[in-house]
Structure 1
C-alpha cells in the first residue's frame, strides 16, 4: 500500500502558526496577571486571599481539566475541541476585562483556565498528526520557543500594559487574537481523532477531583498552615481520589490513562523531570521577580526589561535545539538544559544581596534562559515519541498536567522556605529568605537532570515509509491547501 502524501509546507506552517498563537495566548495568562495584582487590588479593593485566587483560579481548572480535554479531543476531534477552547478562552478574557468585582474576575479566570486546558494539550497532538516524524523535533522546537517566551515574558508584557494602559487590557489583548484565530482554525488545520476512542467518565471525575484536592492543599498550605485540618483534609481526599483513579484505570475497559505508558522509561522520566523542572524554575521565578521590584526598586516594566537576557533566549535557542533533537534525540538536550538552569539559579543564590548590580545578574539570566529553551525544545519530542499514535493526546495531557502541578508545588514549597528563613520586613530579611529558596530550586533542577538521564537515549526519528504502523491512527483529514 502506498503511503499517503506528506503534508505540504504551507499546511505545516499554518499548523505551527495557529497552534503557536493560541498556546502563546493561554501560556501568557499564566504569569501576565502577576504584575497587575497591585493595580487590581487598588481598583477592586481586593484582599490578599482574593488576589491569590485570581492567580489560582486560572491554574486549578487548567491543571484539573487537561486529561479529560485530551480524551475528548481523541474522541470528538482535536481540531473541533481546540477551536472550542479558543472560543471559551476568548469569551472568558472579555468577561475578565469587564469584571466589576473580585469575585467576577476570579470566575472569569476560572473559565480562562478551562479554555486553556482544551487548547494546550491538543496543540501538541495537532502538530504531531500533521508534521512528518523526521521533522517533529524542529516543529516542537518552534512550539516550545513560543510557549517559553510567553511564560518567561509574562511579567514584562503585563508590566508594560499595566504601566501604560490599565490592568483590564492584559485580558482585552486576547480578544482580537482569539477572534482572528476562530475562522482560520477550521480552514487551515487538519482534523484528527483516534478511531474507536471511548470516553472514561468515571476516570475523568476521579482524576479531576483528585488533582483539585491535591492542588487546593498546595495553594492553601502557606496561608492556612500545612498541618491545619483543611489542608491535611485536602491532601488526604485528593490522594484517596487519585488512588481510586489508578485502581480504576487497571480495571477499566477503556482507561483514560493507560498505565502501561509508564512502563516506558522515556515517558516516565520525561514526565517526572518535567514536574521537577516546573517546581524548581517557576517557584524561583515567583521570588526573583519580586526581588527585582521590591528590593532593587524597579517598576514592573523595568524589571521585565532587565529579564530580557532570560526571556529572549527561547526564541533564539529553542528552534535550533528542536532541529538538533531530530538528529541526536532529546534526552541529552533536556538534561543539559536543566543543568544550565540549576547553574543559573545557583549563580543567583551566590550573589543575592540587596545592592547587587544588574551586570552581575546577567550571566545567571542567560544560563536560565538557554537552559529553559533547551528543555522546552526537547521534551515535546521525548513525550510524544515514547507512545503510539493513538495515545499521543493523553500523553500530552499527562505531561502538561504534571508540569502545572509542579509549578503550583514549587511556588508553594519555595515560598514556605522563603517564609521560614526571611520575610518582607527589610531588604536583608528578603534576601535571607530568597537565598535558601533559590538554592532549593537549583537542587530540584539537579534532581530533574538525574531523572532525565534515567531515560534511554533516543535516536533520530525514522524516515517516513509507506508501511503503516500497527495500532496507529490513520492519516488525519487534510486541511484545504493554503493558497
Structure 2
C-alpha cells in the first residue's frame, strides 16, 4: 500500500528547494546565527548582574549582609549547570543527524529560565532559573561551535570564532550596562522585556538556518561530494608535512602493527585510541593547555560580575546604572575580536594568546590602587578595565579555533596511521563539550574566587591574585598551543 503524502513529506526532502536556500545555508548566515545565539545566552546571563544585588533585597528579602554571598552563588550556579550539561550535549550531538534541532530545543530551556528569573521571589526559584539557563548555554555553546566547525574551513575558523567571541563579549558585557539602566528607569519587569524580545529574534534565525549538509540535497554536485566524503573519510587532504607521523614514513601493510615509538608507545594500537573520543582527546597535552586557558579566561572575565558593581557602589556611591557603565570599557575592545581571529588564522594562535594573558597581568594588579572616591581613581579604573578587555579579547578567537584544529589534526593522524578515526559523527561537538566544561568551570570559579577574596581579604588582594593567575596562564599557552613549542610537528 502506498504511503500517504504527508508521511512521505516527513521522510523525504521536497524537490523544490526552500526559499533563499543559498543565503540561509551560507557561511555568513550560519556564523551570524551562532553568534546571535551566543550573544542571547550571554546577554540573559549578564543582564541581571547589576540588578540582582538590589532585587535580592526587594524581591527575595535577603539581608543586606548576605547579598554579596548570594550574588556570587547565583552567578556560579550558572557555571556549574553549564559544566554538568556540556559533556552530555557533546556526546549526543555527535550521534545526532542535525545540529539545528537541538539548537531549537535549547531555546525552550532558555525561555523557561527567563520566566523563573522574572517571577522568582525566593532564592530557590532563582537557583532553578540559573540551572535551566546553564543547560541552555550548554546546547548553544557545544552544538553552535560544532556547527561552525562543520561549516567553516579550519584555515578561516579563528576569524569565524572572532565573531562568536564578539557576540559573547557584547552579551556578557553590554547586558549589565543595559540591565542597570533599564532597571533604574523602568523597573525589574522591563529588564526581562528586553530578554523576551531577544529570544524571539533568536527563534526566527534558528528556524531559518539550513545546515550545509541539508542544503546539499538540492545541490547535486555538493551532494555527491558529501557522499564521497562520508564513504571515504580518509580521502581528505593529507596532513601537512610537519605533522607526518612515523607510520606514514615507513609502515606498510606487511609490517607488524605493534611498532613502538621511543618510550614504548605503540603508534598503531595505542589503548587511548580505543577509548570514547571525549576521553581519548583528554590525552592531548595541547588540548589540556587550551582547556586551561579557556578556564582562566572565563574566570578572569566573570570575576568582575560579582565584585565590580558592589565595589563601585561602596567606593563611589553609584547606583546600578553608574556601576553598570563600568562594564563599557571592557566591551569596546571586543569589537576587534574578528581582526584578532584573522591574525590568528594567518600567524597561529600561540603568541596572541600568550601576549593576551601576559598583557592583562599589569592592569589587573593595578586595580588594587583604585581605593579612593576621586575623579582620578574613576578615570584610572576605566582605563585599566579597557586594557584588560583588550588583552582578553585577543585570547578568545585563537583558543576556540584551537579546539577544532586539535580534533582535525588528531583524526588525520589516526587515519593515516591505519587506526580508526572518531567515527562518522566526528568529535567536534565532544571537543567543544570539553571546552564548554572548562569555560563553565571558569564561570563558576571566577565569581566565587573574586567574591570570597574581596569579602575575606579585600579588593587589593583580589586584584593581585587575578593578575598573577593571568601571568601564570601564559606559560602553558606559549608551550603547548599549536603543539609542543620545541617540536612543532607533534600534535599532542
TM over 0.5: yes
- Worse-matched range after superposition: 434-443 or 370-379: 370-379
Query: 407, 410, 426: which is aligned to 2:443?
Result: 407
1:141 is displaced (CA, Å) by 0.7
Do the aligned partners of residues 99 and 458 (structure 1) sit closer, same or farther apart at CA in structure 2, a change above 3 Å counting?
same
Query: 96, 105, 109: which is aligned to 1:88?
Result: 109
For residue 94 of structure 2, give the secondary structure of its aligned residue in structure 1.
Answer: helix
State how far apart, in whole Å, the 1-side matches of 2:62 and 2:371 are.
32
What whole-Å deviation, never above 9, does each CA across 1:228-274 have from its counterpart, x for those lacking one? Answer: xxxxxxxxxxxxxxxxxxxxxx899763622x323433312111122
User: Do residues 112 (structure 1) and 126 (structure 2) align?
Assistant: no
1:308-347 superposed matches below 5 A: 308-315=328-335, 317-347=336-366
- Worse-matched range after superposition: 61-70 or 448-457: 448-457
Do the aligned partners of residues 366 and 105 (structure 1) sit closer, same or farther apart at CA in structure 2, a change above 3 Å counting?
closer
1:129 is displaced (CA, Å) by 0.9
1:322-471 superposed matches below 5 A: 322-355=341-374, 356-388=376-408, 390-421=426-457, 433-457=458-482
1:39 is displaced (CA, Å) by 2.4
Do the aligned partners of residues 133 and 354 (structure 1) sit closer, same or farther apart at CA in structure 2, a change above 3 Å counting?
same
Q: Is the 8 A contact 2:42 2:168 kept in 1?
A: yes
Do the aligned partners of residues 182 and 30 (structure 1) sit closer, same or farther apart at CA in structure 2, a change above 3 Å counting?
closer
State how far apart, in whole Å, the 2-side matches of 1:167 and 1:399 are.
34
Do the aligned partners of residues 185 and 415 (structure 1) sit closer, same or farther apart at CA in structure 2, a change above 3 Å counting?
closer
1:320 is displaced (CA, Å) by 0.7
State how far apart, in whole Å, the 2-side matches of 1:436 and 1:148 are.
26
What whole-Å deviation, never above 9, does each CA across 1:305-353 have from its counterpart, x for those lacking one? Answer: 24322211102x1111011111001111111111222122122124444
Query: 16, 33, 47: which is aligned to 1:32?
Result: 47
Q: Is the 8 A contact 2:76 2:448 kept in 1?
A: no
User: Do residues 13 (structure 1) and 28 (structure 2) align?
Assistant: yes
Do the aligned partners of residues 96 and 256 (structure 1) sit closer, same or farther apart at CA in structure 2, a change above 3 Å counting?
farther
Do the aligned partners of residues 191 and 10 (structure 1) sit closer, same or farther apart at CA in structure 2, a change above 3 Å counting?
closer
Query: 32, 45, 52: which is aligned to 2:61?
Result: 45
What whole-Å deviation, never above 9, does each CA across 1:365-404 have from its counterpart, x for those lacking one? Answer: 2211111111112211112211137221111111121122
State how far apart, in whole Å, the 2-side matches of 1:63 and 1:305 are.
30
Q: Is the 8 A contact 2:77 2:444 kept in 1?
A: no
State how far apart, in whole Å, the 1-side matches of 2:473 and 2:143 are.
25
1:177 is displaced (CA, Å) by 2.5
Give 1:464's aligned residue.
none
Do the aligned partners of residues 264 and 8 (structure 1) sit closer, same or farther apart at CA in structure 2, a change above 3 Å counting?
farther
For residue 318 of structure 2, give the secondary structure of its aligned residue in structure 1.
Answer: coil
1:152-231 superposed matches below 5 A: 152-190=173-211
State how far apart, in whole Å, the 1-side matches of 2:392 and 2:210 are.
28
1:102 is displaced (CA, Å) by 4.1
For residue 298 of structure 1, give the secondary structure of its aligned residue in structure 2.
Answer: coil
State how far apart, in whole Å, the 1-side matches of 2:186 and 2:109 are.
25
Q: Is the 8 A contact 2:285 2:480 kept in 1?
A: yes
Q: Is the 8 A contact 1:75 1:195 kept in 2?
A: no
State how far apart, in whole Å, the 1-side matches of 2:464 and 2:392 are.
17
For residue 75 of structure 1, give the secondary structure of its aligned residue in structure 2.
Answer: coil
Do the aligned partners of residues 252 and 100 (structure 1) sit closer, same or farther apart at CA in structure 2, a change above 3 Å counting?
farther
User: Do residues 75 (structure 1) and 95 (structure 2) align?
Assistant: yes
Q: Please tell me whether Structure 1 or Structure 2 has the larger radius of gyration of its CA atoms.
A: 2
State how far apart, in whole Å, the 1-side matches of 2:444 and 2:106 are.
22
State how far apart, in whole Å, the 1-side matches of 2:459 and 2:126 are.
31
State how far apart, in whole Å, the 1-side matches of 2:465 and 2:284 are.
29
State how far apart, in whole Å, the 1-side matches of 2:137 and 2:99 are.
14
RMSD of Structure 2 on Structure 1 (CA): 2.9
State how far apart, in whole Å, the 1-side matches of 2:407 and 2:189 are.
42
Q: Is the 8 A contact 1:314 1:370 kept in 2?
A: yes
State how far apart, in whole Å, the 2-side matches of 1:44 and 1:416 are.
22
Q: Is the 8 A contact 1:91 1:175 kept in 2?
A: no
What whole-Å deviation, never above 9, does each CA across 1:157-203 have from its counterpart, x for those lacking one? Answer: 2211211222233333232332333343243231779989xxxxxxx
Give 1:205's aligned residue.
none
Q: Is the 8 A contact 2:73 2:448 kept in 1?
A: no
Unaligned runs of 5+ in 2: 1-21, 215-228, 232-270, 412-425, 485-492
